[in-house]
Each structure stands twice: as C-alpha cells, then as structure tokens.
C-alpha cells in the first residue's frame, strides 16, 4: 500500500476537485495530508501489524522472530489484542462524549435554560420517553425533556443493570449478548473497563480481551451513538428527504463563506439558523458580499445537511483544501477528525480558524467557549466576524474548483417507514417483500472515512456502484456518503440508472433511491435500527445475523471506525474492511476476528482492498443468508408450482 516511487502524484483521488487543489497546494508549497503521508514513508511495520507495546515503561517492546515476548512476557496475541481494545475504547469515548454533549443541551432545555434550543420533534421525544419509562401523561415537552435527559445521563454511569437502550435491539440478539456476557452496563464504565483490562498485567487472553472489546463497542453503537442520534432528532428535528449540493464548488466567490467542521451539531445548528438572519444578510451586503454561505465538512456537514439542506464542501481529506480555495472567511471547528494542520494552512490565507469546544484547542486558533443559552448570539457574533473578514480576502488568490453535485439526503428510519408505507400506513413491508421475493437481494451499509493510503473516494464509489448493480440496496453515512454524493450517486435518478433492473423497479415503485444517505457517523445507530425494523416487519429471520445484509468501511482511518466495526460484528453483521486492523502481527487475533467470530456472534470481519471483490464477497454472504432463510428456495419452488399448474392446464 506504500506509494509508488518517483515524484509525488497529484492524482490522489477520483474526485477532480481534490486533485486540482492538491496540485495548487504543491505549487504554493503548502503541505497537505498527502505530502505528510509521503514524509512518513516507510510507515512502521510494528505499528501496522499491531505488535509494538507501549503500555508500560519496562518497554516499549516489539515482537520479532528473536524477541517473541515483551519484557513482561506478553506475546504477539496479547499485545495486538490490547492495542485493538484501546482503539475501541477511544472510538467509543469519542462517539459517546458527543452524545453526552447533546444530552447536556437537552437537559438545559428541560431546565428552561436552553436559549434558542427547543424541542423540534415532540413526537420523537414522547415516543422515546414512553420507551424508556419516563411519564408523559399530563406533562409538558419541557418537563419530559428534563427527565429523559436525566435518564440518558444515567446510561453513562456504571450500574448493576445492562444499558436500557440495548432493549432497542432484537430480542434474540439481546439474549445472545447476555449469554456471552457482553452487555455493557454504562458507557463510561465500559471505556474505563477496557483501559483497565489493557493496563500492564491484567487481561492477557486475546479471546477474552476481544470479547471485552465487543462489549465496549456495544456501549458505543447501541448506547452512546444511539443516544446521540435520538437527542439530535429531538432537538433539531428528525431528518426528512432534502436536496442540497456537495463538493468544493458550493463555495461562492461572491459570498462570505463559513465552513463548519467536526461532529457536534449544537453550535452549527445555530450557525445554520443565523445564516439566514436578515440583519446579518444586510450587514454582508453592506460589506459587498452577495450573501453568506455556510457549508460543512465531515459529520457536522452531514448533520446540518440532513436537517437544513446546507451544502457540503467535502469529506475528511478536503478540510485543508477548503481553506486553500482562498475563499473561506472562517472555519468553525468542534471535535473529531479536525486536523491540527488547519492552523498552518489558514495562516497562508485570511481564514479565521475558530475552535468552539471546551475540550478541543488547536494551537493558533481563536477559542470561544460555547454556551447553550447564548448559542444563537454566539453564532451571530461568529458570522458577523466572518463578514468583517470578507474584505481581507485576496481576490487574486481565490481558486474554487467548479465541482458541485446535487444530492438528496435525509433518510432516517422514520422517513423510510413513511416513504415505503405511503400516506396512510407506516411500514417496512414493501422492502421486506422485495427482499423476500429477491428483487432486492439484500442490504449493505457502507460507512467510514477517507484515507490518503488509497485513491481517495474511489473505494466507496466503486463498492457502492458494484452493489447497486447487483440489486443490493445501499445505506450510507459519514464520509462514505459524501464520497458517493460527489460522484453523483446520491441523485436518485442517476443512481437508478446504475442500479440492477429489479432494484431499480422496486426503488421507482416505492419512491426511494438505491443509495440512502442516513446521516453522520453516530447515525450508524440508524443502520442498526433499520436492521431491527426489517426484522420486526417479519419474514427475514429473528436476529440481525439472519438478515441478508453486510457492512463495509473501505477507506476507514479513525479509532471510531474500529469501534463501529466491532459493534456491527457484535450485532451479528459481516463487515468488510478495505484494509486490516493493526492486528496482522498476530495470526491468532486475525483468525479470531475474521473466522472464529462467526461462530460466536454470527458476524465477522474480512479485509478486502479491491472494491469489486469486496462487493462479490458481500453478495456471497447475502446469498448465503438468503439460502439459510429459505427465501431463495421458496422462489424456485414458486416458479415450479406455476410451471406445474400450466402443465396441469
């Protein structure tokens, strides 16, 4: 996977906008991720294979043919498994702390101190309250919000009982988690437990370690991320289909451009609202700007897209490139996937970098302390400051790629229910029927990051294309959804043209595109619930591991992706990664994750760098599940019956 020898290529992506900006950066001698990636070559083999250990100070230790154990005696299996667990812990912590931040805002609303934040989806609030045992009768939304927030807070701490949100999962899966003793009992305590287990001299059996990792990952997917999605929907509205545009071309040479980047939608939500504030628009006009454009990067982008239709400037590896357009007055960053290099790039332009999270500071970025009650006022002040910065833009250096693609997003489960069921009945029935009779072979989730180790976006786009061609319905989130959107695959008509005949027919009949953008990375919880909804609808088994479904993260890079992969596998899903976890230094750990796991959770991992082969493997898995369900056989029998009948006639 190391880059080819010779001069660095500017062809780093399938997206021409990325290549154009990388070339520009190189002519201006501004370093980007691709240059730094080159400088890192060759990357450490011990790190790549997961067999270096820095967990105590008798080390660092690394495993070689000569030194088969660390100073303490830990072998390659223990070391690789412990390293993997630390990644799961960090990923879980990140998603869940994001969830907690949202719960805090919900709590503020419940106390009447929420400022401009309000309950945008009271129905979802009440449904959630009822599900989690919070009294709703005779109480106001605000009262319910306060108590529901308290319930969610309780889900973070340790308790004797398993997390309450696990009850959203299929019954059979819950029973399996109980049997395997991997039910999380609090998000924070699950993370702490992993840190404890991986401390020098505690848990050493790689199988036992990895099962512990699954437990923590469940606290990510079914608890922290589920809460994050739920509270976002309650506060900001449950997404509905919405049109927008994507790629760097959404930035305008005439408007004040503000980028929101990171993951937590709280302040960006206020920026979205304030971006159409008449007073601010008048102020922008006064300063000679044609308006204010707020566009997103990474998952903050997905959040404001899903609910406000704000345009997306790009996915993960476009953050530096956005500033390189010279047309960005301000980039507002919060948490996760924000490169520390942004300050260096911003320094070469007039761009103001503003950091808004109390836990995240970037050297040389302006820091503000976000406050829910003052959220709207803070957003207005930020936009005003960006407008003031417009006059500092060096027009001679503005270089905005022309690429800008239409996109339709906003497919929450609620939306899918509604679209499939038509006006009167909410149901997944038409989807289940189409899967059962084989017009749709199955469902695939494609998620995760982009990575300079591969031709950026390409793996996502090719995989998605191959799957819809083979009549597999694709659900996407995160940077994967943005990659496919840039390639024009999230325009329903375009994707329909590429879909297999029977998938196309179903999508046209029920009015959904063959690739559904379900949101940000915490919204992978929506994928878990989509699987559960399909099961509840009936006819496709009793557990997630029965479903003709598969997951993929073709260009993953973050620890969050490691946690996500594990909670899908712990939920019974087959997950194909574009490149392996850092465990290949241990054959045993690799075998446990990629083979033995199937006998334990019904799910397993597989590494496959070639997107066409990945699609074939996912389809083979889907067909295996269809066979096990008997729906392939049933169909043949039905045809035979008809033939028989004809013969009889």
- In the complex, the residues that contact ligand SF4 under the rule CB under 6 A are 53-56, 58-61, 70-72, 74, 79, 200
Tokens coding 106: 């919900």
By CB under 6 A, residue 614 contacts ligand XCC: no
Contact region with ligand XCC (CB under 6 A), list: 304-312, 417-425, 486-494, 553-561 = 553-561
C-alpha pair distances (Å), 182 with each of 210, 217, 358, 604: 10, 10, 33, 16
With 0-12 / 13-18 / 19 or more C-beta atoms within 10 angstroms meaning exposed / middle / buried, residue 546 is: middle
Residue 337 interacts with, from ligand SF4, ligand XCC, none (CB under 5-8 Å by kind): ligand XCC
CA 427, CA 533: separation in Å to the nearest integer? 9
As beta bridge partners, residue 291 has none
As beta bridge partners, residue 552 has 446, 576
State in angstroms the smallest separation of the CB of 212 from ligand SF4: 17
Which residue, chain included where needed, has tokens 């020098």?
200
By CB under 6 A, residue 298 contacts ligand XCC: yes
Rg for the chain, CA atoms, rounded: 25
Identity of the residue, 85 or 337, whose beta carbon is nearer to ligand XCC in the bound complex? 337
Identity of the residue, 371 or 584, whose beta carbon is nearer to ligand SF4 in the bound complex? 584
Identity of the residue, 79 or 301, whose beta carbon is nearer to ligand XCC in the bound complex? 301
By CB under 6 A, residue 375 contacts ligand XCC: no
As beta bridge partners, residue 294 has 258
State in angstroms the smallest separation of the CB of 265 from ligand XCC: 12
Residue 558 interacts with, from ligand XCC, ligand SF4, none (CB under 5-8 Å by kind): ligand XCC
C-alpha pair distances (Å), 620 with each of 348, 469, 515, 542: 50, 14, 20, 21
Collapsing DSSP states into helix, strand and coil, what is residue 26?
helix
Tokens coding 642: 């008809």
With 0-12 / 13-18 / 19 or more C-beta atoms within 10 angstroms meaning exposed / middle / buried, residue 57 is: exposed
Cis peptide before 138 (omega within 30 of 0): no
Which residue, chain included where needed, has tokens 């969050």?
560
By CB under 6 A, residue 258 contacts ligand XCC: no
- Interface residue with ligand XCC among 299, 335, 499, 562 (CB under 6 A) is 299
Identity of the residue, 567 or 592, whose beta carbon is nearer to ligand XCC in the bound complex? 567
Tell me, residue by residue from 148 to 187, as one string, x for binding to ligand XCC by CB under 6 A and - for no binding.
----------------------------------------
Identity of the residue, 77 or 555, whose beta carbon is nearer to ligand XCC in the bound complex? 555
Tell me, residue by residue from 479 to 518, as one string, x for binding to ligand XCC by CB under 6 A and - for no binding.
x---------------------------------------
Residue 448 interacts with, from ligand SF4, ligand XCC, none (CB under 5-8 Å by kind): ligand XCC
State in angstroms the smallest separation of the CB of 54 from ligand SF4: 6
As beta bridge partners, residue 13 has 456
Q: Yes or no: say if 419 and 511 are a contact pair by the CB < 8 Å rule.
A: yes
Q: Residues 332 to 351: which contact ligand XCC by CB under 6 A? A: 337
Residue 479 interacts with, from ligand XCC, ligand SF4, none (CB under 5-8 Å by kind): ligand XCC
State in angstroms the smallest separation of the CB of 67 from ligand SF4: 10
Residue 56 interacts with, from ligand XCC, ligand SF4, none (CB under 5-8 Å by kind): ligand SF4
Residue 459 interacts with, from ligand SF4, ligand XCC, none (CB under 5-8 Å by kind): none
CA 627, CA 149: separation in Å to the nearest integer? 44
Residue 316 interacts with, from ligand SF4, ligand XCC, none (CB under 5-8 Å by kind): ligand XCC
State in angstroms the smallest separation of the CB of 288 from ligand SF4: 60
State in angstroms the smallest separation of the CB of 182 from ligand SF4: 25
Residue 60 interacts with, from ligand SF4, ligand XCC, none (CB under 5-8 Å by kind): ligand SF4
- Residue 2 has what DSSP assignment? P
Identity of the residue, 73 or 630, whose beta carbon is nearer to ligand SF4 in the bound complex? 73
Q: How crowded is residue 590: how many other Cβ atoms within 10 Å of its Cβ?
A: 20
Q: Yes or no: say if 322 and 347 are a contact pair by the CB < 8 Å rule.
A: no
CA 96, CA 105: separation in Å to the nearest integer? 14
Strands 604-607 and 574-577: parallel
Tokens coding 538: 């009936």
Q: Residues 422 to 461: which contact ligand XCC by CB under 6 A? A: 448-449
**574-577 β-sheet, strand order:** 515-517, 472-476, 442-446, 549-553, 574-577, 604-607
- Interface residue with ligand XCC among 521, 527, 576, 614 (CB under 6 A) is 521
Identity of the residue, 70 or 249, whose beta carbon is nearer to ligand SF4 in the bound complex? 70
Contact region with ligand XCC (CB under 6 A), list: 99-107, 557-565, 597-605, 634-642 = 557-565
State in angstroms the smallest separation of the CB of 51 from ligand XCC: 25
CA 643, CA 649: separation in Å to the nearest integer? 10
- Interface residue with ligand XCC among 83, 96, 558, 571 (CB under 6 A) is 558
Pure H helices in 134-186: 141-154, 171-180
CA 403, CA 382: separation in Å to the nearest integer? 27
CA 149, CA 108: separation in Å to the nearest integer? 9
By CB under 6 A, residue 319 contacts ligand XCC: no
Q: Which of 293, 303, 283 is nearest to 258 (CA)?
A: 293
User: Which spans of this chain sit near ligand XCC (rule: CB under 6 A)?
Assistant: 298-299, 316, 337, 448-449, 478-479, 520-521, 558, 560-561
């Amino acid at each position: 996977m190391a880059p080819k020898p010779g001069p660095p290529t500017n062809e780093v992506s399938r997206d021409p906008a990325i290549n154009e900006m990388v070339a520009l950066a190189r002519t201006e001698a501004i370093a980007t991720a691709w240059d730094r990636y080159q400088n890192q070559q060759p990357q450490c083999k011990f790190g790549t294979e997961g067999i270096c250990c820095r967990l105590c100070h008798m080390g660092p230790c690394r495993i070689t043919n000569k030194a088969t154990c660390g100073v303490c005696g830990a072998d390659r299996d223990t070391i690789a498994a412990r390293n993997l667990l630390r990644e799961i812990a960090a990923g879980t912590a990140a998603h869940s702390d994001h969830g907690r931040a949202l719960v805090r805002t919900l709590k503020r609303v419940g106390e009447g101190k929420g400022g401009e934040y309000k309950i945008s989806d009271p129905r979802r609030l009440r449904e959630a309250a009822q599900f989690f045992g919070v009294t709703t009768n005779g109480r106001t939304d605000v009262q319910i919000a306060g108590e529901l927030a308290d319930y969610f807070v309780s889900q973070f701490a340790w308790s004797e009982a398993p997390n309450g949100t696990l009850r959203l999962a299929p019954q059979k899966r819950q029973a399996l988690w109980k049997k395997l003793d991997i039910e999380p009992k609090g998000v924070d305590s699950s993370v702490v437990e992993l840190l404890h287990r991986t401390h020098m001299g505690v848990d050493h059996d790689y199988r036992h370690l990895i099962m512990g990792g699954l437990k923590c990952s469940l606290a990510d997917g079914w608890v922290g991320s589920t809460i994050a999605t739920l509270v976002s929907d309650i506060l900001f509205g449950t997404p509905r289909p919405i049109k927008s545009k994507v790629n760097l071309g959404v930035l305008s040479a005439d408007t004040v451009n503000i980028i929101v980047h990171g993951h937590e939608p709280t302040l960006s939500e206020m920026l979205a609202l304030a971006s159409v504030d008449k007073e601010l628009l008048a102020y922008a006009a006064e300063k000679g700007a044609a308006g204010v454009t707020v566009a997103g990067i990474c998952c903050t982008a997905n959040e404001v897209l899903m609910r406000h239709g704000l345009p997306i400037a790009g996915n993960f590896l476009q953050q530096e490139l956005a500033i390189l357009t010279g047309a960005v007055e301000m980039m507002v960053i919060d948490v996760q996937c924000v490169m520390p290099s942004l300050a260096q790039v911003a320094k070469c332009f007039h761009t103001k970098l503003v950091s808004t999270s109390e836990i995240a500071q970037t050297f040389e970025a302006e820091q503000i302390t976000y406050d829910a009650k003052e959220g709207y006022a803070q957003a207005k002040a930020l936009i005003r400051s960006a407008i003031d910065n417009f006059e500092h833009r060096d027009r001679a250096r503005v270089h905005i790629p022309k690429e800008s693609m239409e996109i339709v997003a906003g497919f929450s489960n609620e939306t899918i229910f509604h679209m499939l069921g038509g006006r009167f009945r909410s149901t997944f029935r038409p989807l289940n029927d189409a899967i059962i009779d084989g017009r749709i072979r199955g469902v695939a989730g494609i998620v995760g990051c982009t990575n300079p180790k591969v031709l950026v976006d390409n793996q996502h786009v090719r995989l998605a294309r191959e799957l819809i061609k083979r009549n597999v319905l694709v659900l996407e989130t995160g940077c994967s959804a943005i990659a496919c959107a840039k390639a024009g695959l999230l325009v329903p008509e375009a994707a329909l043209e590429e879909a297999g005949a029977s998938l196309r027919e179903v999508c046209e009949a029920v009015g959904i595109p063959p690739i559904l953008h379900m949101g940000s990375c915490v919204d992978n919880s929506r994928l878990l619930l989509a699987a559960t909804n399909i099961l509840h609808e009936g006819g496709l088994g009793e557990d997630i591991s029965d479903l003709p479904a598969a997951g993929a993260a073709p260009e993953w890079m973050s620890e969050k992706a490691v946690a996500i992969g594990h909670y899908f596998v712990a939920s019974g899903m087959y997950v194909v990664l574009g490149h392996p976890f850092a465990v290949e230094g241990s054959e045993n750990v690799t075998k446990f994750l990629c083979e033995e796991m199937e006998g334990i959770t019904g799910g397993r991992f597989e590494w496959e760098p070639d997107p066409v082969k990945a699609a074939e493997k996912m389809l083979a898995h889907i067909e295996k599940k269809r066979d096990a369900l008997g729906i392939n056989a049933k169909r043949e029998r039905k045809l035979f019956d008809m033939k028989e009948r004809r013969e009889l006639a």
